[in-house]
Each structure stands twice: as structure tokens, then as C-alpha cells.
Structure 1
């Protein structure tokens, strides 16, 4: 099957943006190595607020466009994949939560970008937002891991490879994939807010158990 000119340009644009994202992540890792913990917290906090703002916008756009028939009405009917109970006693515990939550989104956000291109490309700015959230999540994860490694060389990361609903993002049925997107965006908004909350607590030297 041949791609139309518009589709070909879209794919070329996507490849260019993804390539730039990997370059940015590599450059970020190098810059983070040279930063103090305080500078890292400042940079990650700024990134986390931006990432949450973009994730919230993605959810609002999609939720507002869904018809009443397929609207994700009961948002708490299905728990998010990263829901768990954490016992937080110190800064290291807060960092571990940030790392585990951010790490959990690596694969879903990787899947999200092509899924958005396929089904939500007509939604203004949605593809660019998906790429930006992906980059922001990687950046925060890189910084949090670096800070924790400075005090704890060994880091154990939880495995969240078995995400439910991801295959539904690729469904040709509009109701199915829109509902899957809405669920994913709801959890993304919730988790990016949690990360921003915990980073704010770390920045101000506060220990909290729930965001």
C-alpha cells in the first residue's frame, strides 16, 4: 500500500521528532551528570509541571470530544496500572516512587505516539503533546535515578510490562480505541500530577505519603 503525500510527510515529521527526542534525552543525561542535586530538583520540577499540564490538556481535549455514549463516565471504575500503596519514610522513598511511576510509563508512552498518529492525528496538537509527554517522562526518570544513585548505587525498578488496554489503542473500532485512549490519558494525568507533587515535596524537604 502506497502512502499519500500527506501521510508520508506526517511519518517523516514523526520520525524527525522522535529522533530529536532521543537526542534530547542523551544530551539531558550528560547535562544532569554535571548538575548538583538542587539544580536537578529545580529542572525536574519545572519539567514535571510542564508534563502534567500537557497530559491534563490531552485528557481534556479527548474527553470533551467524546459522545455521551462512549464517554469515560466512571473514571474510577478501573484502577490505573500504577496504583499501589507506598510507605514513605524519607527522601529516598519519595524518589523510588517517582522512579517506579515514571518507569511504568516508558512502554505505554512508546506505544502511545504511533497510536495517536493513527487515530488522533486530526486532534489539534495531540501528536506533538504525546511526544512532549514521552520526553518529559524520560527526563524526569533520568534525573530521579541519578539523584538516588548518588546515595544508593543499587536501584531496583518495578516491572510494569503487562499493561492492560494497550492493544485496544490500536483497535479499528472507534468506540474501543477512544475509550482506551481516555482511560490511558486519565491515568497519565493522575500519575504526572503525582510525580509533580512528590518533586515539589522533595524540593521543599517535606515527607508526604500521598499525592
Structure 2
């Protein structure tokens, strides 16, 4: 079935949005200060894995079912707002990059939810996935900050890159917002994979209690 990307927001989409947010608000996670470094790490790695899976799935759905492979054809032209993020060498650097990249996605993921509701609706669970990505990224950011604070108490946050063309996601022009979605999900898939990879690099030091 071909989806119209210009469809208006529906009451079903709004209901889905509200119900998903109520579900997550009602969940009370274990406070990070009650976790060991290893427990906190396992929590972060599980969350990053799930977030990457969801981001990859959304890109695939958009590319195959909505954009008709235009995302794949244009991916070489995509320059992500986090491209300039420096390569990490130490444990602290790894966490700082994770924090920087996660911070860079806070506002874009917040803006993704109304854009998906407007143009993609509840197509194949896209709305629920957008909300899950927003939630997962916040949890990764919160956990990484807490873990870093145990290594370097009182550390100040660095500046993070900003996505400059979010308004294109809400454009009424089909070609414009479709290309924006392609770039958004391409970069999100790439960055969630980077975060997961950096967390996996940290594993030996967490397990061996080198912190």
C-alpha cells in the first residue's frame, strides 16, 4: 500500500503518542546511583543496542516502503551534523564522545515526533519508534553522564553540534521533507551504531574494574 506523505495528523496518531508517553512515564527505572559501574554499563549497552536496532529499522522502512530506495541512492551526499566529532582514545574520551553525540540528537529527536506524526502517521509503527528513539537517547545520555561523573567528578560538558535544517522535516513540499527524513535516519543509524561501538570498546575496563 502506497503511503501519502502529506496526510494530516489524525486522532489515532495523537492517541498513540499520548499512550506511549504515559507508558514510559509510568516506568520507574533503578536509580543510577544504586548501580555498580558494571550494572550501569550493561544498562547503557542494552539501551544503545535497542536504539540502534530501532533507528536501523526506521531507515529501512522509509527507504524501501516510502522513499522507494531514494534514501539509499542519496546516502553518499549526506553530511551529518556529528561528522566533526573527534575520535576518542581514552575511556574518558569515549564517554565524552557518547555524551556529545547523544546531546546533539536531543533536539532533533524531539522534533522528529511531530514530523513523523504529520508525514508518516502510524505507518508500520513509525510513530511509536520515533518516541522510543527519543526516550532511548535520553537514557543513554543520562547514563553516560553519570558514569563519567564517577571518573571525573565535576567535569563540565563540552559544546555539541547542532542540526541546522530541522525545519525541512516539517516542509509541506514532499521532495524536501522526504530528503530530510532520508538524511535524518541515515545519520541517526550511523550515530547509534557509533555509540554502541564505543560502549563495546569500554567493556574490558568495566569488567576488570579499572575505574
Q: Structures share a fold, TM > 0.5? A: yes
In structure 2, do the counterparts of structure 1 residues 62 and 94 end up closer, same or farther at CA, with 3 Å as the change threshold? same
Q: Give TM-score, length-normalised by structure 1.
A: 0.85
Q: Give ranges in structure 1 of 5+ residues lacking alignment.
A: 1-5, 207-211
Residue in 1 aligned with 2:78?
78
Deviates more, 1:30-39 or 1:9-18: 9-18
Residue 102 (structure 1) aligned with residue 105 (structure 2): no
Could you say if the C-alpha distance between residues 22 and 154 of structure 1 is closer, same or farther in structure 2, counting changes exceeding 3 Å?
Answer: farther
Q: How many residues align?
A: 196
> Could you tell which deviates more after superposition, 106-115 or 70-79?
70-79
Give CA-to-partner distance per residue, 1:88-144, whole Å, 9 cap, x none. 331000000000001100000000011101101152110111111111111111100
Superposition map of 1:33-44 within 5 A? 33-44=33-44
Q: Distance in 1 between matches of 2:26 and 2:122?
A: 27
Specify the SS of the correspondent of 2:13: helix
- For 1:158, the equivalent position in structure 2 comes to 159
Q: Secondary structure at the match of 1:155?
A: coil
Q: Indicate the residue corresponding to 2:18 in structure 1.
A: 15
- The alignment's TM-score, normalised by the length of structure 2, stands at 0.85
Deviates more, 1:120-129 or 1:140-149: 120-129
CA distance in 1, matches of 2:14, 2:122: 14
Are the equivalent residues in 2 in contact too, given 1:149–1:155 (CA < 8 A)? no
- Tell me if structure 1 keeps the 8 A contact 2:85–2:97: no
SS class of match (1:197): helix
Residues 83-94 of structure 1 correspond to what in structure 2 (within 5 A)?
83-94=83-94
Q: Alignment partner of 2:31: what SS?
A: helix
Unaligned stretches of 5+ in structure 2?
Answer: 1-8, 207-211
User: Residues 112-191 of structure 1 correspond to what in structure 2 (within 5 A)?
Assistant: 112-152=112-152, 153-160=154-161, 162-191=162-191
